[in-house]
Amino acid sequence: MKTHFQITAKQLVLLALMTAVFAASAVVLYDRFSSALLGRLAGAKPEKATIESSSVAGLTDPSVATDEKNNQEVYRALSPGVVNITSTVMVRDWFFEAYPKQGTGSGSILDKEGHILTNYHVIQEAEKLVVTLSNKHEFPATVLDADADNDLAVIKIEAPAAELTPVPLGNSKEVFVGQKVLAIGNPFGLEGTLTTGIVSGLSRPIRSEISNRLIEGVIQTDAAINPGNSGGPLLNSRGQMIGINTLIYSPSGGSVGIGFAVPVDTARRVINDVLQYGRVRKPRLGIVQPIQLQPGLSRALSLPVSEGLLVVGLVSGGPAEKAGVRGPTKEVQIGRYIIPVGGDIIVGVDGHSIKSQDDLDRVLNSKNIGDRVQVEVMRAGRKMTLTVQLAELPGAARRRT
């Protein structure tokens, strides 16, 4: 005997609604999670967040607030995001006995995960790093990576998110001479010190004392910056970081109103690389320490040009070697020096004249990994143009051009 089921019109409508809800939920779930799921199945690594520009909540519009009120509000909101960094390095005395020596600097909290931006020279060669928050809580820190050429580093602490106040990034392209700025840091170990001033100059090229490379676009300020301020933020009146306080010009060692900050747009590239790839990535040609030509040297070597970069070494398998750039074929002695010769002489890149390492750095700093550049070289008295695809160099070769 067969059993027959009858569905009423009301039940049919209810079944249709339930089916529609189920289908809609499936579409939403697929739209939200499918790309990540498929990426994981394909072996892709999940993307890491990058640090973007943001604003500070609760600040009175600087255009209507008094200068005193703006100083107070910015300091109250952002000083918890500025940390003190104590580094311990091992040095040797006259008797070659090793002993620990401590130094201090400042840094800016970037996110709730404990990433901190500072100067490379603050953490250089440190055996131990300790970060002290504004609430006096201390945490050991690890160095994730650094960009010695721009004197920047990203370190990390494991601290409760509730204790971390991120300092928002601004845009250094919008900075102008005469703009009000505020510097927060720990000069001479005096934690949470605020100084104010204006932007005194822009695009000041300064040479890194670490790598001897030019840092481009540096911001000059008369806000008092002293030893211990290094790595701390230079803020605009909206509480956004526009620079990283790096060094001062001072015959006495104290502030004389000439301080310099690395622009935040340079720092942003470093930060995003470290967060996404775990390291700072730079586009390179793969040329090893080229020699900058001078008229006297060119005459001594009987070269066809008096200016340019003489290629004396290539990274094996690097971009320049793959593109056909030639290295030295022999060595000659000039006085007490042995000079590799016979290699190409770089005289231009993408239409820019190359007379020095600084010229080449300036061009490469505006490029990305994977970009193709037109490299003009002199070879055997004849000018040639080679297409080189810039790449990140592995391991020990990363410090090369």
Do the Cβ atoms of 296 and 203 come closer than 8 Å? no
Instruction: Please check whether residue 216 is in contact with residue 365, taking contact to mean a CB–CB distance below 8 angstroms.
Output: yes
Distance CA 159, CA 133 (A): 10
Is 208 annotated as catalytic?
no
Catalytic residue among 87, 108, 115, 121: 121
Instruction: Pick the catalytic residue from 108, 200, 208, 230.
Output: 230
Judge whether 230 counts as a catalytic residue. yes
352 is catalytic: no
Catalytic residue among 147, 149, 151, 359: 151
At 335, the amino acid letter reads: G
* d(C-alpha 205, C-alpha 218), whole Å: 6
Instruction: Find out whether 152 and 117 touch, Cβ atoms under 8 Å.
Output: yes
User: Residue by residue, what is the 3-state secondary structure of the chain?
Assistant: CCCCCCCCHHHHHHHHHHHHHHHHHHHHHHHHHHHHHHHHHCCCCCCCCCCCECCCCCCCCCCCCCHHHHHHHHHHHHHHHEEEEEEEEEEECCCCCEEEEEEEEEEEECCCCCEEEECHHHHCCCCEEEEECCCCCEEEEEEEEEEHHHCEEEEEECCCHHHCCCCCECCHHHCCCCCEEEEEECHHHCCCEEEEEEEEEEEEEEECCCCCCEEEEEEEECCCCCCCCCCCEEECCCCCEEEEEEEECCCCCCCCCCEEEEEHHHHHHHHHHHHHHCCCCCCECCECCCEECCHHHHHHHCCCCCCCEECCCECCCCHHHHHCCCCCCEEEEECCEEEEECCCEEEEECCEECCCHHHHHHHHCCCCCCCEEEEEEEECCEEEEEEEECECCCHHHHHCC
> Could you give the residue numbers annotated as active site?
121, 151, 230
